[in-house]
Amino acid sequence: MILELKDICKDYIQGKMIVPVLKDVMFSMNEGEYVAIMGPSGSGKTTLMNIVGCLDKLTSGSFFLDGQDMSKCTDNQMSDIRLQKIGFVFQNFQLMPKESALENVALPLTYAGIPKKERKERAMEALSRVGLADRVNFKPTQLSGGQKQRVAIARAIVNRPKILLADEPTGALDSKSGEQVMELFQSLNDEGVSILMITHAPDIAEYAQRVVEIRDGILKEREAQTDR
Ligand code: ADP
Ligand code: MG
């Protein structure tokens, strides 16, 4: 099991008010699975992703990542695990605007303490993997949206993570670029990377093996579907 969430609750404190956002979420994912999360805006998708990505702490419940109990981890241990096991892809790419594609992709390796020469080699390799070997020295402003997202995917996989977390990865892309991103996800998944992806778009969710729905902080497996 790559992910195991049991009775997860997450409240936000707003002044004196407690705002429950995730309500007793039960969710698990096998290693190598590809799961899509769908739900309306404000339903708690990003909040859930931030917890799974060790970017935020839960209020109650338990959360195991790759068999490890995350509620027992210190902040330092959490950031190590994040670095080693998780790759992130965001709707708006979140690239460093002044750095080249190569430097953007190499950044997580800097945090991981990898020596410079190896950083460059591995960043090159990851950029080739996403079909951008000829764009390594381009800055984000010199790239199309689809290319920016592919740089972001190269950055997400450069540490060879076990799981890829993607929050609306095609949300800012035209349909052709979105399709390319989905093809890339598919081939990463074929290589054994687990993928958890948030999306609004039913045609994007169809790429996943399994779809779960979240509404007002409550998560449900989607009913088994007949063929489209
Ligand atoms: P989604 O990604 O599904 O659109 P979010 O997880 O971003 O939804 O937000 C879910 C709910 O939690 C929203 O009602 C939002 O207002 C609230 N929320 C998100 N982040 C915070 C925060 N830092 N403080 C207070 N409320 C928040
Ligand atoms: Mg969101």
Tell me whether residue 166 is in a domain: yes
Distance 22 CA to ligand 1 centre (A): 10
> For residue 148, what pLDDT is reported?
98
Tell me whether residue 7 is in a domain: yes
Q: Which of 8, 9, 12, 55 has most ligand 1 atoms within 8 Å of its beta carbon, as the pocket-test mutant? A: 12
In terms of residue numbers, what domain contains 184?
Answer: 3-223
Q: Is the alpha carbon torsion for 28, 32, 36, 42 positive or negative?
A: positive
> For residue 43, what pLDDT is reported?
95
> For residue 225, what pLDDT is reported?
57
Task: Among the bound ligands, name the one nearest to the CA of residue 17.
Answer: 1
In degrees to the nearest 10, what's the CA dihedral of 109, 111, 115, 116?
A: 70
pTM reported for the whole predicted model: 0.94
Tell me whether residue 53 is in a domain: yes
> For residue 221, what pLDDT is reported?
84
Tell me whether residue 23 is in a domain: yes
> For residue 227, what pLDDT is reported?
55
Atom of ligand 1 nearest to the CA of 40: 3
Tell me whether residue 50 is in a domain: yes
> For residue 224, what pLDDT is reported?
62
* Triad 165, 168, 173: Cα angle to 5°: 125
| Residue 19, ligand 1, Cβ within 6 A | yes
For 151-203, how does the pLDDT look when each residue is reduced to its tens digit (9 = 90+)?
Answer: 999 999 999 999 999 999 999 999 999 999 999 999 999 999 999 999 989 99
Question: Percent of the chain having pLDDT more than 90?
Answer: 91
Q: How many distinct structural domains can be found in the chain? A: 1
Atom of ligand 1 nearest to the CA of 14: 25
Residue 190, domain CATH: 3.40.50.300
> For residue 13, what pLDDT is reported?
93
Q: What is the mean pLDDT of residues 23-49?
A: 96
For 124-137, how does the pLDDT look when each residue is reduced to its tens digit (9 = 90+)?
Answer: 999 999 999 999 99
Task: Among the bound ligands, name the one nearest to the CA of residue 50.
Answer: 1
| Residue 44, ligand 1, Cβ within 6 A | yes
> What's the chain's average pLDDT?
95
Tell me whether residue 228 is in a domain: no
> For residue 88, what pLDDT is reported?
97
* CA distance readout (Å), 17 to 4, 12, 21, 44, 58: 29, 8, 12, 18, 17
CB 116, CB 105: distance < 8 Å: no
The DSSP H or E segment spanning 189 is helix 175-190
Which residue's CA lies nearest to atom 19 of ligand 1?
Answer: 47
* CA distance readout (Å), 153 to 33, 43, 146: 18, 26, 10
Higher pLDDT, 136 or 224: 136
Q: What is the mean pLDDT of residues 199-210?
A: 94
Q: What is the mean pLDDT of residues 145-154?
A: 98
For 47-97, how does the pLDDT look when each residue is reduced to its tens digit (9 = 90+)?
Answer: 999 999 999 989 999 999 999 999 888 989 999 999 999 999 999 999 999
Confidence of residue 24 (pLDDT cuts 50, 70, 90): very high
Tell me whether residue 194 is in a domain: yes
Tell me whether residue 110 is in a domain: yes
CB 37, CB 48: distance < 8 Å: yes
Distance 57 CA to ligand 2 centre (A): 17
